[in-house]
């Protein structure tokens, strides 16, 4: 009996080690050091996809005929379920006071009119857009009738069915950026339920290089934006934007620690052709994101995100 058990353990030890490592990375991703290469952030940007390792390890364990490995595969499966299982639950279908749309329309969008009309067809109360540089006039024209109130700064804008007051730019430009760069705007929306401070932001892009994950500028902008929101006197706050980061990424911690994110489902929004991550976000203070969903592709490289909010 002992002679038969030792070969089985030898057959499964590598799978057991891989399963435990996968579980550790899933549940203990905050333990992965960030450092100058931002490796922790890079892992967290695609964290849900670690779940694909479970069926791979299961197949290996079955192929190796190792009962020990089969049991070990349960560990990352349980870890993934503990972290992400809640997102698989049915969305809240309860009442909501606002419907908002968040969309990076892509400054290279070949069909801004079609994109604008697709957004118009959703009949949302608020529409937040980024990368408006090339199609600004089209969005202005198509949305003007249904959304008579607008706030704009640089390449970001907010369209509203309700009156806007106190609209102003928000400076979230990283210190290392020395060119024209306006990607933040704030306005007070006078809803039937009272005033809401609404922010629209587009944080800096991130890149993967041989030296690691270039995310310092994005993280700095997130900290700047969080400081502005901390000083916001209106109790209810909604932040909409392309934050170039997922809700699991520690780079967004200055915001996710202060605001409640719309987390139901995964709703990957980028890239539109094969969505791998949701980097288009809606976060709230003094309000509850009831449900979130991505919409059909437009001419952009992002998918629109629609969120229902209870005030």
CATH code, domain carrying 186: 3.60.10.10
Do 168 and 82 have their domain in common? no
Residue 226 lies in a domain: yes
112 and 32: one domain? no
Q: Are 125 and 262 part of one and the same domain?
A: yes
**Do 163 and 130 belong together in one domain?**
yes
* Sheet of strand 98-104: strand arrangement: 149-153, 156-160, 126-130, 98-104, 305-310, 288-294
Query: Which residue among 60, 88, 116 closes a domain?
Result: 88
- Structure confidence at residue 8 (pLDDT): 55
Full domain range(s) for residue 67: 2-88
Same-domain check for residues 36 and 105: no
| Number of domains within the chain | 2
Q: Are residues 20 and 150 in the same domain?
A: no
CA distances from 51 to 56, 80, 191, 250 (A): 9, 6, 41, 19
Distance CA 256, CA 238 (A): 12
Q: Quick one: which of 239, 298, 309, 250 has its CA closest to 270?
A: 298
* Listed residue (242, 235, 218) closest to 303, CA to CA: 242
pLDDT in tens, the chain (311 residues): 444 555 555 668 999 999 999 999 999 999 999 888 889 999 999 999 999 999 999 999 999 889 999 999 999 999 999 999 888 877 777 789 999 999 999 999 999 999 999 999 999 999 999 999 888 999 999 999 999 999 999 999 999 999 999 999 999 999 999 889 999 999 999 999 999 999 999 999 998 887 888 899 999 999 999 999 999 999 999 999 999 999 999 999 999 999 998 766 788 999 999 999 999 999 999 999 988 999 999 999 999 999 999 99
pLDDT value of residue 2: 47
Entry pTM? 0.92
Identify whether residues 21 and 65 lie together within a single domain: yes
Together in a domain, 113 and 17: no
Instruction: Extract the tokens encoding 221.
Output: 């902008």
Q: How many CB atoms lie within 10 A of CB 32?
A: 16
Tell me the CA distances in angstroms from 146 to 93, 99, 113, 117, 162, one per residue in order.
Answer: 26, 14, 15, 11, 10
């Amino acid at each position: 009996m002992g002679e038969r058990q030792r070969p089985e353990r030898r057959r499964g030890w590598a799978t057991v080690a891989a399963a435990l490592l996968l579980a550790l990375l899933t549940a203990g991703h905050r333990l992965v050091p960030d450092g100058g290469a931002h490796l922790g952030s890079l892992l967290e940007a695609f964290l849900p996809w670690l779940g694909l390792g479970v069926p791979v390890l299961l197949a290996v364990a079955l192929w190796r005929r190792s009962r020990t490995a089969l049991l070990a595969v349960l560990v990352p499966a349980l870890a993934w379920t503990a972290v992400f299982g809640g997102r698989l639950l049915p969305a809240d279908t309860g009442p909501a006071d606002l419907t908002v749309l968040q969309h990076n329309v892509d400054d290279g969008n070949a069909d801004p009119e079609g994109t604008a009309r697709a957004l118009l067809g959703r009949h949302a109360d608020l529409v937040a857009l980024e990368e408006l540089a090339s199609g600004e006039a089209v969005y202005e024209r198509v949305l003007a009738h249904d959304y008579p109130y607008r706030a704009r700064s640089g390449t970001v804008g907010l369209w509203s069915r309700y009156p806007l007051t106190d609209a102003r730019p928000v400076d979230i430009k990283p210190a290392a950026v020395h060119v024209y760069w306006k990607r933040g705007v704030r306005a007070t929306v006078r809803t039937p339920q009272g005033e809401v401070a609404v922010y629209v932001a587009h944080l800096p892009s991130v890149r993967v290089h041989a030296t690691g994950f270039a995310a310092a500028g994005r993280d700095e902008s997130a900290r700047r934006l969080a400081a502005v929101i901390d000083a916001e006197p209106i109790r209810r706050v909604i932040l909409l934007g392309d934050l170039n980061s997922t809700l699991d990424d520690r780079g967004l911690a200055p915001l996710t620690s202060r605001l409640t994110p719309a987390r139901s489902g995964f709703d990957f929004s980028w890239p539109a052709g094969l969505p791998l991550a949701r980097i288009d976000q809606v976060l709230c203070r003094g309000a509850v994101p009831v449900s979130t969903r991505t919409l059909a592709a437009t001419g952009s490289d992002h998918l629109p995100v629609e969120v229902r909010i209870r005030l």
